[in-house]
Structure formats: C-alpha cells, structure tokens
Amino acid sequence: MIKVSVLYPNRAGSKFDMSYYLGTHIKLVKDKLGTALQGVHVDSGMSGAAPDSEPDYVAMGHLLFNSVGDFQAAFGPHAEAIMDDIPNYTDIEPQVVVSEIRC
C-alpha cells in the first residue's frame, strides 16, 4: 500500500480554510478518485515539538492506494479539476510526498 501525502507548510500571512478543505475539496477528491482511493486521513497542525510553538504544517492530507499505478491511473484524468480547486481554500503551494507504508 502507498500513501500520497499533501503537506501545506505553515507560512506567515497565508490562508487555509479547513472547513472548505474538509467539506468540499476532500469530497471532490473522493468523488474523482473513486474506488482506487482506499482511505483518506486529514491532519490539522496544532504545534511544533516545543510547547506553544507554531506547527510546521497547517494541514496534511493523506490518501491511500494499493499501488503507485493505481494512484496515477485514478489521479491523472482528474488532476486538473483537483488542482484547480486549491485556490478555493488556500494560497499555500502544497508539497507532495509518495511513500510506501511499511508497517
């Protein structure tokens, strides 16, 4: 199984609308990626390692797929629609990490 993580760095002065992200964007992602998508997890940054410090990321979306091929086949045809929705909830350029789940 693989995980596609979409990370939104915490940048001073940037916006991130978590309500829109959860209520609209994630629904769009689920609808577009269909049965290839095995699971979705969303994390909202609370703090860094030091008490009362700012989190490195304001949000992290994690998408689970059986393989990289499944991700690419599902995402490719819908990439434009999914990416075009980003400005509706943030002005942060997301970072994407594809990883293999090992345990």
The per-residue pLDDT for range 35-81, each reduced to its tens digit, is: 999 999 999 999 999 989 999 999 999 999 999 999 999 999 999 99
CATH code (residue 65):
3.30.70.100
**Shortest CA distance to 79 belongs to which of 15, 33, 18?**
33
Pairing of strands 39-44, 57-65: antiparallel
Q: What band does 26 get if pLDDT is binned at 50, 70 and 90?
A: very high
- Say what the pLDDT of residue 56 is: 97
- Say what the pLDDT of residue 62 is: 98
Domain that holds residue 82: 2-46+55-100
Domain count, the chain: 1
Q: Rounded to an integer, what distance in angstroms lies between the CA atom of residue 82 and that of residue 42?
A: 16
Instruction: Please tell me the pTM assigned to this model.
Output: 0.94
What kind and span of H or E run contains 75? helix 68-75
User: Which residues lie closer than 8 Å to 85 by C-beta, 6 or more apart?
Assistant: 24, 25, 28
Q: Rounded to an integer, what distance in angstroms lies between the CA atom of residue 19 and that of residue 75?
A: 23
Residue type, position 34, single letter: G
